[in-house]
Amino acid sequence: MRKNLLALCAGLVFLMTFSLAAQEDDDAYIPTYVLGDQMLMINGGLFTPLFYQTLSGDIHSTHLTVGGVGSIQWSGYLNNDMSIGAEGGGMFAFTPNDNNLFMLPVTIRYSYFLRKYPFDFPLSIAAGVNFLRLNSVFRILPILKPGISAYWNYDSSWAFGLNIFYWWTPDLYAGPEPPQEHSRFGNFIEFSLSARYHF
């Protein structure tokens, strides 16, 4: 019994020593990035319609189903805390009549990184153009996409995480046909998983 207890205590001391040494190694490795470092991200997940808002401020349902979203993004670091890059992707959802709505935004995204290794929390905002198609209707609209992400750094090259991006896209008319009162602001939200590669 005493031998078993001693062996157990020795094993626990060994494990604690190994864990502390591994933690010191992890703390010693904190990645830093400089101008010229780059990253490539692939995102995929759910697209959730929220509401339309009119010019007068009235709120209306989008009458859209939950859909899918996917994108690819390239960014370059400006310094250890900031990056800027380009993003392209798309979404789909369905109307009550089973018509397909597609939006294909192409944006420039700026990100500011909060870090607590091994995690990154990029705060970002993207702006660009949004190619919208619903049946035979095709529109080119502006889009703004603020968001927050959370990444776990698997190693110096790969990180995995999730994104929450808000899609705000105005659809404005000057009249007389369609009339100006048909203008509206689309509000949607994206929940997506992400894989990020540094190079």
110/161 same-domain check: yes
101/164 same-domain check: yes
Domain containing 55 equals 32-198
Sequence-distant (≥ 6) Cβ neighbours of residue 5 within 8 angstroms:
none
58/6 same-domain check: no
19/64 same-domain check: no
Residue 125, Cβ density class (10 Å: 0-12 exposed, 13-18 middle, ≥19 buried)? middle
Q: Looking at the predicted structure, is the pLDDT value of residue 179 above 70?
A: yes
> What is the rounded distance in angstroms from the CA atom of residue 199 to the CA atom of residue 196?
10
1: three-class secondary structure by DSSP: coil
Asked if residue 122 lies in contact with residue 159, where contact means CB atoms within 8 angstroms, the answer is: no
Q: How many domains does the chain have?
A: 2
> What is the rounded distance in angstroms from the CA atom of residue 54 to the CA atom of residue 60?
8
72/169 same-domain check: yes
Q: What is the chain's percent helix, strand, coil content, to nearest 5?
A: 15, 60, 25
- Per-residue pLDDT tens over the stretch 92-135: 999 998 899 999 999 999 999 999 989 999 999 999 999 999 98
Residue range 161-186: average pLDDT?
88
Any idea how long the chain is? 199
CA distances from 19 to 12, 35, 37, 141 (A): 10, 35, 32, 54
Backbone angles phi, psi at 95, to 5 degrees: -85, 170
pLDDT score recorded for residue 89: 95
The CATH number for 36's domain is 2.40.160.20
24/91 same-domain check: no
Q: Average the pLDDT over each of 27-31, 53-57, 132-136, 153-157 and give the range with the smallest value.
A: 27-31
Helices (H) and strands (E) counted in the chain, each on its own, are 1, 9
pLDDT score recorded for residue 10: 55
75/9 same-domain check: no
pLDDT score recorded for residue 182: 79
90/143 same-domain check: yes
Q: Which helix (H) or strand (E) holds 137?
A: strand 137-153
Residue range 68-90: average pLDDT?
96
118/174 same-domain check: yes
pLDDT score recorded for residue 105: 97
144/47 same-domain check: yes
12/61 same-domain check: no
> What is the rounded distance in angstroms from the CA atom of residue 111 to the CA atom of residue 118?
18
pLDDT score recorded for residue 121: 97
Residue range 57-79: average pLDDT?
94
Q: Average the pLDDT over each of 26-30, 55-59, 179-183 and give the range with the smallest value.
A: 26-30
Please report, as a single letter, which amino acid is at residue 105: P
pTM for this predicted structure? 0.79
Q: Looking at the predicted structure, is the pLDDT value of residue 24 above 90?
A: no
The residue ranking higher by pLDDT, 34 or 178, is: 34
* CA-based radius of gyration for the chain: 23
Averaged confidence pLDDT in the chain: 87
